[in-house]
Amino acid sequence: MIFHKKHHQSGARPGTLHIHEGWPPPKILVFRYTLENVEEWETDGSDTFESLFDQPGQVWVDVQGLGDEALLRRMADLFNLHPLAVEDVVSVPQRPKTEPYKDFIFLVTRMIAVLDGAAIENEQISIFLGKHFVLTFQERPGDCFEPVRQRLRNPDSRIRSSGPDYLAYALLDAVVDGYYPVIERLGDQLAELEEESLERPSKNTLRATNKVRMTLLLMRRVLWPQREAINSLIRDENSLVTENVRLFLRDTHDHCTQVAEVVESYRELVSAVANTYLTVVSNRTNEVMKVLTIMASIFIPLTFMAGVYGMNFEYMPELHFRYSYPLLWVAMLAVGLSMVYYFRRKGWLGGE
Amino acid sequence: MIFHKKHHQSGARPGTLHIHEGWPPPKILVFRYTLENVEEWETDGSDTFESLFDQPGQVWVDVQGLGDEALLRRMADLFNLHPLAVEDVVSVPQRPKTEPYKDFIFLVTRMIAVLDGAAIENEQISIFLGKHFVLTFQERPGDCFEPVRQRLRNPDSRIRSSGPDYLAYALLDAVVDGYYPVIERLGDQLAELEEESLERPSKNTLRATNKVRMTLLLMRRVLWPQREAINSLIRDENSLVTENVRLFLRDTHDHCTQVAEVVESYRELVSAVANTYLTVVSNRTNEVMKVLTIMASIFIPLTFMAGVYGMNFEYMPELHFRYSYPLLWVAMLAVGLSMVYYFRRKGWLGGE
Amino acid sequence: MIFHKKHHQSGARPGTLHIHEGWPPPKILVFRYTLENVEEWETDGSDTFESLFDQPGQVWVDVQGLGDEALLRRMADLFNLHPLAVEDVVSVPQRPKTEPYKDFIFLVTRMIAVLDGAAIENEQISIFLGKHFVLTFQERPGDCFEPVRQRLRNPDSRIRSSGPDYLAYALLDAVVDGYYPVIERLGDQLAELEEESLERPSKNTLRATNKVRMTLLLMRRVLWPQREAINSLIRDENSLVTENVRLFLRDTHDHCTQVAEVVESYRELVSAVANTYLTVVSNRTNEVMKVLTIMASIFIPLTFMAGVYGMNFEYMPELHFRYSYPLLWVAMLAVGLSMVYYFRRKGWLGGE
Amino acid sequence: MIFHKKHHQSGARPGTLHIHEGWPPPKILVFRYTLENVEEWETDGSDTFESLFDQPGQVWVDVQGLGDEALLRRMADLFNLHPLAVEDVVSVPQRPKTEPYKDFIFLVTRMIAVLDGAAIENEQISIFLGKHFVLTFQERPGDCFEPVRQRLRNPDSRIRSSGPDYLAYALLDAVVDGYYPVIERLGDQLAELEEESLERPSKNTLRATNKVRMTLLLMRRVLWPQREAINSLIRDENSLVTENVRLFLRDTHDHCTQVAEVVESYRELVSAVANTYLTVVSNRTNEVMKVLTIMASIFIPLTFMAGVYGMNFEYMPELHFRYSYPLLWVAMLAVGLSMVYYFRRKGWLGGE
Amino acid sequence: MIFHKKHHQSGARPGTLHIHEGWPPPKILVFRYTLENVEEWETDGSDTFESLFDQPGQVWVDVQGLGDEALLRRMADLFNLHPLAVEDVVSVPQRPKTEPYKDFIFLVTRMIAVLDGAAIENEQISIFLGKHFVLTFQERPGDCFEPVRQRLRNPDSRIRSSGPDYLAYALLDAVVDGYYPVIERLGDQLAELEEESLERPSKNTLRATNKVRMTLLLMRRVLWPQREAINSLIRDENSLVTENVRLFLRDTHDHCTQVAEVVESYRELVSAVANTYLTVVSNRTNEVMKVLTIMASIFIPLTFMAGVYGMNFEYMPELHFRYSYPLLWVAMLAVGLSMVYYFRRKGWLGGE
Shortest CA gap A43–chain E (Å) = 24
Is pLDDT above 70 for D277? Answer: yes
Mutate which: D312, D319, D341, vs C, most C CBs within 10 A? D312
| Cβ-contact D315, C326 below 8 angstroms | no
What percentage of residues in chain C have a pLDDT greater than 70?
94
Tell me the count of C-D CB pairs closer than 8 A. Answer: 175
* Residue whose C-alpha is closest to residue A311's, from C329, E298, D307: D307
Which residues of chain E have a CB within 8 Å of the CB of A279?
Answer: 206, 274, 277-278, 281
Whole-angstrom Cα distance, residue E247 to residue E259? 19
Whole-angstrom Cα distance, residue E235 to residue C163? 49
Shortest CA gap E301–chain D (Å) = 6
Per-residue pLDDT of D320-351, as tens digits, reads 898 999 999 999 999 999 999 999 998 887 64
**Cα-only R_g, chain D:** 34
Per-residue pLDDT of B36-62, as tens digits, reads 889 999 988 777 677 777 788 899 999
Shortest CA gap C157–chain B (Å) = 8
The half-sphere exposure of C310 on its side-chain side, counting CA atoms within 13 A, is 36
Chain C partners (3+ C-beta pairs within 8 A): B, D
Per residue, the 3-state secondary structure of chain E, as one string, reads: CCCCCCCCCCCCCCCCCCCCCCCCCCEEEEEEECCCCEEEEEECCCCCCHHHHCCCCEEEEEEECCCCHHHHHHHHHHHCCCHHHHHHHHCCCCCCEEEECCCCEEEEEEEEEECCCCCEEEEEEEEEECCCEEEEEECCCCCCCHHHHHHHHCCCCHHHHCCHHHHHHHHHHHHHHCHHHHHHHHHHHHHHHHHHHHHCCCHHHHHHHHHHHHHHHHHHHHHHHHHHHHHHHHHCCCCCCCHHHHHHHHHHHHHHHHHHHHHHHHHHHHHHHHHHHHHHHHHHHHHHHHHHHHHHHHHHHHHHHHHHCCCCCCCCHHHHCCCHHHHHHHHHHHHHHHHHHHHHHCCCCCCC
- Residue A291: strand, helix, or coil: helix
Shortest CA gap D58–chain E (Å) = 30
Is pLDDT above 90 for B220? Answer: yes
Angle, helices C83-90/C69-79, rounded to nearest 10 degrees:
150
pLDDT for the residue A4: 41
Residues A32 and A160 reside in one and the same domain: yes
Which residues of chain C have a CB within 8 Å of the CB of B11?
Answer: 144-148, 151, 170, 173-174, 177-178
Buried b (16+ CB within 10 A) or exposed e, E326-349: eebeeebeeebeebeeebeeeebe
pLDDT for the residue C4: 42
Mutate which: E286, E292, E352, vs D, most D CBs within 10 A? E286
* Residue D229 domain-assigned (yes or no): no
CB contact under 8 A, A3 and B183: yes
Amino acid type, B158 = R
Tell me the count of A-B CB pairs closer than 8 A. Answer: 173
pLDDT for the residue B14: 58
pLDDT for the residue B246: 93
Which residues of chain D have a CB within 8 Å of the CB of C311?
Answer: 312
Alpha helices, DSSP H only, in chain B? Answer: 69-79, 83-90, 146-153, 158-161, 164-177, 179-199, 203-235, 243-308, 317-320, 324-346
Which residues of chain D have a CB within 8 Å of the CB of C210?
Answer: 194, 269, 272, 276
Which residues of chain A have a CB within 8 Å of the CB of E284?
Answer: 286
Q: What angle do CA E249, E255, E256 make, to 5 degrees?
A: 90
pLDDT for the residue B91: 86
Task: Point out the domain boundary residue: B153, B183, B214.
Answer: B153
Q: Cis peptide before B96, with omega less than 30 degrees from 0?
A: no
Amino acid type, A237 = E
Residues C6 and C140 reside in one and the same domain: yes
Whole-number mean pLDDT of chain D? 88
What percentage of residues in chain A have a pLDDT greater than 70?
94
Domain with residue A330: its CATH number is 1.20.58.340
| Burial grade of D296 (CB within 10 A; 0-12, 13-18, 19 or more) | buried
Is pLDDT above 60 for E328? Answer: yes
Is pLDDT above 90 for E117? Answer: no
Q: Which residues pair with C137 in a beta bridge?
A: C63, C126
Shortest CA gap A65–chain B (Å) = 23
Q: What residues contact B38, with CB distance under 8 A and at least 6 apart?
A: B31, B32, B152, B153, B155, B160
Task: Point out the domain boundary residue: E145, E161, E177.
Answer: E161
Whole-angstrom Cα distance, residue C45 to residue A35? 94
Phi, psi (deg, nearest 5) at residue B252: -60, -40
pLDDT for the residue A314: 87
Query: C-alpha distances in angstroms, C193 versus A91, C207, C261?
Result: 44, 10, 21
pLDDT for the residue C6: 41
Which residues of chain B have a CB within 8 Å of the CB of A316?
Answer: 312
CB contact under 8 A, E278 and D277: no
Q: Shortest CB distance from C352 goes to which of B202, B282, B289?
A: B202
Range of the domain at A308: 285-345
Whole-angstrom Cα distance, residue E321 to residue E317? 7
Shortest CA gap C341–chain D (Å) = 18
Residues A155 and A295 reside in one and the same domain: no
How many helices (H) and strands (E) chain D has is answered by 10, 7
Query: pTM for the full model?
Result: 0.86
Q: Shortest CB distance from E147 goes to which of D10, D282, D289?
A: D10
Is pLDDT above 90 for A56? Answer: no
- Pick the residue from chain D with its C-alpha nearest to E297: D295
pLDDT for the residue B303: 93
Residues A20 and A159 reside in one and the same domain: yes
Is pLDDT above 80 for C14? Answer: no
Amino acid type, E218 = L
Per-residue pLDDT of E17-30, as tens digits, reads 778 888 889 999 99
Per-residue pLDDT of E270-316, as tens digits, reads 999 999 999 999 999 999 999 999 999 999 999 999 999 999 888 88
* Residue C221 domain-assigned (yes or no): no
Mean pLDDT within B170-183: 93
* Residue E85 domain-assigned (yes or no): yes
* Residue whose C-alpha is closest to residue B45's, from B26, B30, B59: B26
Is pLDDT above 80 for E51? Answer: no
| Cβ-contact D276, C271 below 8 angstroms | no
DSSP H or E run through C168: helix C164-177
Q: How confident is the model at residue C116 (pLDDT cuts 50, 70, 90)?
A: confident
pLDDT for the residue D12: 54
Which residues of chain E have a CB within 8 Å of the CB of A315?
Answer: 322-325
Is pLDDT above 90 for C208? Answer: yes
What percentage of residues in chain C have a pLDDT greater than 90?
59
| Cβ-contact C109, C40 below 8 angstroms | no
Q: Shortest CB distance from E296 goes to which of D84, D275, D292?
A: D292
Touching check for B349 and chain C: CB below 8 Å? no
* Residue E252 domain-assigned (yes or no): no
DSSP state letter for B15: T
pLDDT for the residue A64: 93
Which residues of chain B have a CB within 8 Å of the CB of C311?
Answer: 306, 309-310, 325, 328
* Residue A167 domain-assigned (yes or no): yes
Mean pLDDT within D38-44: 89
Mutate which: C1, C3, C87, vs D, most D CBs within 10 A? C3
Residues E155 and E291 reside in one and the same domain: no
Mean pLDDT within E140-148: 90
Q: Which residues pair with D58 in a beta bridge?
A: D33
CB contact under 8 A, D311 and C312: no
Is pLDDT above 90 for E224? Answer: yes
pLDDT for the residue B115: 79
Mutate which: B311, B314, B318, vs A, most A CBs within 10 A? B311
| Cβ-contact A319, B312 below 8 angstroms | yes
pLDDT for the residue B6: 41
Whole-number mean pLDDT of chain A? 88
| Cβ-contact A267, A220 below 8 angstroms | yes
Whole-angstrom Cα distance, residue D143 to residue A74? 81
Total domains in the fold of chain B = 2
Which residues of chain B have a CB within 8 Å of the CB of A274?
Answer: 272, 275-276, 279
* Residue E50 domain-assigned (yes or no): yes
Domain with residue D151: its CATH number is 3.30.460.20
Higher pLDDT, C258 or A48: C258
Q: Shortest CB distance from D279 goes to which of C12, C277, C303?
A: C277
Is pLDDT above 90 for E134? Answer: yes
Higher pLDDT, D51 or C166: C166
* Residue D122 domain-assigned (yes or no): yes
- Pick the residue from chain E with its C-alpha nearest to A173: E11
* Residue B141 domain-assigned (yes or no): yes
**Cα-only R_g, chain E:** 34
pLDDT for the residue D5: 41
Q: What residues contact B53, with CB distance under 8 A and at least 6 apart?
A: B59, B132
| Cβ-contact A101, A82 below 8 angstroms | yes
Shortest CA gap C84–chain B (Å) = 30
ipTM reported for the complex, 2 dp: 0.81
Whole-angstrom Cα distance, residue E127 to residue A102? 42
pLDDT for the residue C44: 82
Within 274-333 of E, beta carbons closer than 8 Å to D belong to: 275-276, 278-280, 282-283, 285-286, 289-290, 292-293, 296-297, 300-301, 303-304, 307-308, 310-316
Is pLDDT above 80 for C292? Answer: yes
Within 173-232 of A, beta carbons closer than 8 Å to B belong to: 201-203, 206-207, 210, 213-214, 217-218, 220-221
* CA C131 to chain CA centroid, nearest Å: 35
Mean pLDDT within A65-85: 89
Per-residue pLDDT of A300-320, as tens digits, reads 999 999 999 999 888 888 898
Shortest CA gap D61–chain E (Å) = 26
CB contact under 8 A, B262 and A3: yes
Is pLDDT above 80 for D47? Answer: no
* CA E306 to chain CA centroid, nearest Å: 64
Touching check for D151 and chain C: CB below 8 Å? yes
Task: Point out the domain boundary residue: D98, D130, D156.
Answer: D156
Whole-angstrom Cα distance, residue E295 to residue E348? 12
